[in-house]
Chain A
Amino acid sequence: MATHNINVTVNGEAHAAAVDSRLLLVHLIRDDLALTGTHIGCDTTHCGACTVLMDGVPVKSCTVLAVQADGAEIGTVEGLAGADGMTPLQEGFQEEHGLQCGFCTPGMLMTGTALLESNPNPSEAEIREAISGNLCRCTGYVNIVKAVEYAAAKTGEGD
């Protein structure tokens, strides 16, 4: 079966890859690019552990073909913290105890990052709606919502 030559930018870094038609985006990210921060949970489009940003939009990378990402900008959890340290949202997860086992956290962070980008001051209802495709089996939703609120408040202070 045919392979396809694709170009993707992941966390600002350009990558060229020859991918099989059926390769999933999450496997390109984890196996080929060795960015294992993006997790595979259910592998059936339910849990959101594999959430990445595709041209700024959060998507489930277990349900996107790698070849569909040709030409796209992909953002993963590894791209969040920079030279200045953690993003306000990552800091919020630390300060508000937004994780227990941490398996859902990369997906929660990517969905939360996209939410705050489009809606810098979301209500609790809007946060809960936004993360409704990301499942936390430690049932830590209360503190995850608080973590997003923390980031919104911290970012708002700078305005």
Chain B
Amino acid sequence: MIPPQFDYHAPGSLDEALGLLGSLDDPKVMSGGQSLLPMLKLRLASPANIVDIGRIPGLDTLAEEDGFLRIGALVTETQLEQSALVALAYPILLDTAKVIADPLVRNRATICGNIAHGDPANDHPATMLALGAQLVATGPDGARTIDIDDFFFGLFMTLLGEDEILTEIRIPAPAPASGGAYVKLERKVGDYAVAGSAVQLSLARDGTVASAGIGLTNLGITPIRATAAEDALTGQAPGDDTIAAAAQAAADATEPIPDRRGSIEYKQNMARVLTARAIRKALARAGG
């Protein structure tokens, strides 16, 4: 299949890229292209201009700094998978990267692209909700920080302006006695989730849950934060009843669309099951 016609631009600096976004007709930012190019080939997207940010230096930071894990716009899923820091301190990110598409796609796909695409079936949004990530959007007037909770507002709709680039994700470094996990149900390797649940929590000294973040994948038209489920865990000793109540609250927060991956009832039940599993895995990693 052949993509529709477009013009292609490969700016060598962020300023040049922002200038192009401000002056070109109907521009679209591309990083790894692993979501955009298939959409072009299927004629689901047809931008007049593609601005490939892949050759801009300085957008490939993957490091902890000032209390945040910084993930630059060009960091690939494979880089995330190979990071010792991520494996040690952010296992939920490793869980997530491992179940996205397949290793060949992950060699080019970027984490920031996974967020900026605005697809509720993508996996990183739920994880970033659980982690309380901040998104750095750089535009003609400089950079602004967007809370992940404010970012997604509709199917493939985000707060990112047409003249802005998602240049960085900032994840607060986890507190002591923290753990997280992402659990996804997929029909086959590389498929979009039937359902997915991301849980990041920290434990107080007495073993109760000090804080909890829970995000859900492909269970509504946007990624979902399961606030009631978080509340059901926070301040509680995480026993079987508490976990079951939180998992049910997560299922109740979903509005899945029935399709080939399952009915509403099935997906909601899977949201419950996967959230319980993710909580247990996160607790084990937190040392609880």
Residues of A within 8 A of B (CB): 1-2, 4, 20-22, 24, 43-46, 48, 51, 57-60, 62-65, 67-68, 70, 111, 129-130, 132-134
Is A44's CB under 8 angstroms from B102's CB? no
Contact partners of B52 in chain A: CB under 8 A: 65, 68
**B285 contacts the other chain (Cβ, under 8 Å)?**
no
Is A133's CB under 8 angstroms from B8's CB? no
Is A4's CB under 8 angstroms from B38's CB? no
Contact partners of A133 in chain B: CB under 8 A: 101-105, 189-190
Is A43's CB under 8 angstroms from B1's CB? yes
Contact partners of B78 in chain A: CB under 8 A: 57
Is B105's CB under 8 angstroms from A63's CB? yes
Is B5's CB under 8 angstroms from A63's CB? no
Interface of B is mostly: loop
Question: Which among B10, B34, B102, B190 has the greatest number of chain A C-beta atoms within 10 A?
Answer: B102
- Residues from 29 to 53 in B contacting A, C-beta threshold 8 Å: 33-34, 37-38, 40-42, 50, 52
Q: Which of B5, B38, B42 contacts A1 (CB 8 A)?
A: B5
Residues of B within 8 A of A (CB): 1-8, 10, 33-34, 37-38, 40-42, 50, 52, 54, 78, 101-105, 107-108, 189-190
Is B8's CB under 8 angstroms from A2's CB? yes
Contact partners of A22 in chain B: CB under 8 A: 2-6, 8, 40
Contact partners of A65 in chain B: CB under 8 A: 8, 33, 37, 52
Contact partners of A48 in chain B: CB under 8 A: 102, 104
Question: Which among B8, B40, B42, B107 has the greatest number of chain A C-beta atoms within 10 A?
Answer: B8
Is A58's CB under 8 angstroms from B107's CB? yes
Q: A4-B8, A45-B37 are in contact. List 7 more A-B contacts (CB 8 A).
A: A1-B6, A21-B5, A43-B1, A59-B104, A62-B41, A63-B34, A111-B103
Is B107's CB under 8 angstroms from A21's CB? no
Is B103's CB under 8 angstroms from A59's CB? no
Contact partners of B3 in chain A: CB under 8 A: 22, 24
Contact partners of A130 in chain B: CB under 8 A: 103
Can you give 16 A-B contacts (C-beta < 8 A)? A1-B5, A1-B6, A2-B7, A21-B5, A21-B6, A21-B8, A22-B4, A43-B1, A44-B41, A58-B104, A59-B104, A63-B105, A63-B108, A130-B103, A132-B190, A133-B105
Is B33's CB under 8 angstroms from A63's CB? yes
Distance in Å: Cβ of A40 to nearest Cβ of chain B? 9
Distance in Å: Cβ of A123 to nearest Cβ of chain B? 15
Distance in Å: Cβ of A47 to nearest Cβ of chain B? 10
Is B105's CB under 8 angstroms from A45's CB? yes
A70 to B54, CA, bound (A): 12
Known: A21-B50, A130-B103. A67 touches B190 (CB 8 A): no
Contact partners of B7 in chain A: CB under 8 A: 1-2, 21
Is B33's CB under 8 angstroms from A68's CB? yes
A111 to B104, CA, bound (A): 8
A20 to B1, CA, bound (A): 15
Is A129's CB under 8 angstroms from B10's CB? no
Closest residue on chain B to residue A61 by CB atoms: B104
A111 to B40, CA, bound (A): 25
Closest residue on chain B to residue A43 by CB atoms: B1
Known: A65-B37, A67-B10. A132 touches B50 (CB 8 A): no
Distance in Å: Cβ of A45 to nearest Cβ of chain B? 5
Closest 4 CB pairs of A and B: A133-B102, A21-B8, A133-B104, A22-B3
Closest residue on chain A to residue B5 by CB atoms: A1
Contact partners of A62 in chain B: CB under 8 A: 41
Distance in Å: Cβ of B73 to nearest Cβ of chain A? 16
Closest residue on chain B to residue A63 by CB atoms: B37
A67 to B101, CA, bound (A): 24
Contact partners of A58 in chain B: CB under 8 A: 103-104, 107
A35 to B50, CA, bound (A): 28
